[in-house]
Amino acid sequence: MSLIGLLGFATVVLLAMLILHGYLWWRLVRSTTRPGRARRWLTLLTVVLTLLPAAAVVLRREDSPVTTVVGWVGFTWLGVAFYAFLALLVLEPVRWAARFGRPRTARLDDAAAPDAGSAAAREDRAVPDPSRRIFVARSLALTAGVVALGTAGTGAYLANSGPVVRRVPVTLPGLAPALDGLRIVTFTDGHLSSMHGGRRFERLVEAVNAQRPDVVAIVGDLVDGEVAALREEAAPLADLVSEQGVFFVTGNHEYFVDTTAWLRHLPTLGIQVLRNERVPIVRGGASFDLAGIDDRTAARSGLPGHGADLDAALDGRDDAVPVVLLAHQPWMVDQASAAGVQLQVSGHTHGGQLWPFDYAIRLDQPAVEGLSRFGDTQLYVSTGAGFWGPPMRIGARPEVAVIELRAP
């Protein structure tokens, strides 16, 4: 990513942090405290917490113990803050109900005035009891905190647990009987980094191998760091075992780092990179085409020759032979359907990763997870194996998908 792009992204992230933390400060600090030292210290803490997630995003490519700590603390806090934000929004009606239903006290100046008027007039000029207001605010803040910590804790456990295995039978028109039952074991969005690596990645490789794959397909966003920093973390990929080979296509995150270095390193681990090209998968004298294209964002990377080119990947193929396309973003399915692709395998969405982001993803992508159909093209979107940002998953478990091809 260019410096201008990085600064623009950081600006957007910082603006979002200001809105999120501004509301949290209003409800968790201002509403629960009186003016004084405690409020000042809590305000300072809020400012620091506001900057931490933005710093984690900007420093994510650096490899040092400090940036790792900043990443874990900043992104973990971001997940907690997000669910605290949601919980407080849900509790707003309770706060308003308590505000209008609570006792009120008369102003001192009204009581002292000789023409204060009737009791009804004084009641009209009454103000809320500050002690009750603070009690209600603190009760709601405590409730939101418990909900946020419980949700984030559950999400952290799920994100860092082993992937679930989903079996996805897919009938491909034109598939020869000799290929019936062939297993494409796929995972996407590993996001290998200092935050997600080590034993977690070893478990992922073990889960893939346990399915006895005929083909292994890694559909983008494998890494979130440079080769020099993640060489040891990526080493378990060399243990992937497959009858027909291990294949990889780029995702958008491959273009946030030194793309060329990774595309040179992956073949040393036994992984074949498909860049706008296809290979035949042959069994029992029959075959289908496995095609792979660069990510949708590759053309903006500035790297010569990079960019999604489905026409190049399918050029010269036999239309009678089924084709399975590896494309990181589901967005490519309209082009795939127009080109006669029978099945597209994608990732990118993380299944939303943190509910309710799956609803927002639908604004950009045609599908969020699972198997769907667009015209004559079937689309499978994996929820991904790793995480990005908060090390949590709510409503979208990490997965390895076993796509079992079926002859009609």
User: What is the full per-residue pLDDT of the chain (408 aa) written as tens digits?
Assistant: 455 555 666 677 678 888 899 999 999 999 889 999 999 999 999 999 988 887 877 776 666 777 778 888 989 999 999 999 999 999 988 877 776 665 555 444 444 444 545 544 444 444 555 677 888 889 999 999 999 999 999 999 999 888 999 999 999 999 999 999 999 999 999 999 877 777 888 999 999 999 999 999 999 999 998 999 899 999 999 999 999 999 999 999 999 999 999 999 999 999 999 999 999 999 988 999 999 999 999 999 889 999 999 999 999 999 999 999 999 999 999 999 999 999 999 999 999 999 999 999 999 999 999 999 999 999 999 999 999 989 999 999 999 999 999 999
Residues 175 and 70 in one domain: no
Model pLDDT, residue 195: 73
- C-beta separation of 246 from 184 below 8 A: no
Output the domain CATH number for residue 168.
Answer: 3.60.21.10
Rounded to 5°, the CA angle 364-57-90 comes to 60
One domain, residues 230 and 343: yes
| Residues 9 and 84 occupy one common structural domain | yes
Q: What is this structure's pTM?
A: 0.86
Residues 125 and 10 in one domain: yes
Q: What residues does 326 pair with on adjacent strands?
A: 292, 345
Report helix, strand or coil for 61.
coil
Q: How many domains are contained in the chain?
A: 2
At residue 147, the pLDDT reads 96
Query: Which residues of 275-376 form beta strands (DSSP E)?
Result: 277-283, 286-292, 323-326, 343-346, 370-374
296 and 175 housed in the same domain: yes
| Rounded CA separation 34/95 (Å) | 18
Q: Which of 124, 157, 190 is the last residue of a domain?
A: 157
Same domain, 14 and 153: yes
Query: Which residues constitute the domain of residue 42?
Result: 3-157
Sign of CA dihedral 344, 345, 347, 351: positive
Beta-carbon contacts of 187 under 8 Å, excluding residues fewer than 6 positions away, are: 163, 204, 208, 218, 219, 382, 384, 385, 399, 400, 401
| Together in a domain, 87 and 225 | no
Rounded-to-10 torsion of CA 371, 375, 376, 379: -20
Task: Return the pLDDT at 58.
Answer: 72
Are 211 and 254 found together in one domain?
yes
Query: Cα separations (Å) of 292 from 80, 181, 246, 309, 379?
Result: 37, 21, 12, 9, 14
Task: Determine the Cα–Cα distance for residues 252 and 189; give it in Å rounded to an integer.
Answer: 10
Domain end: 157, 189, 223, which one?
157
**Which pLDDT score, from 0 to 100, does residue 116 have?**
46
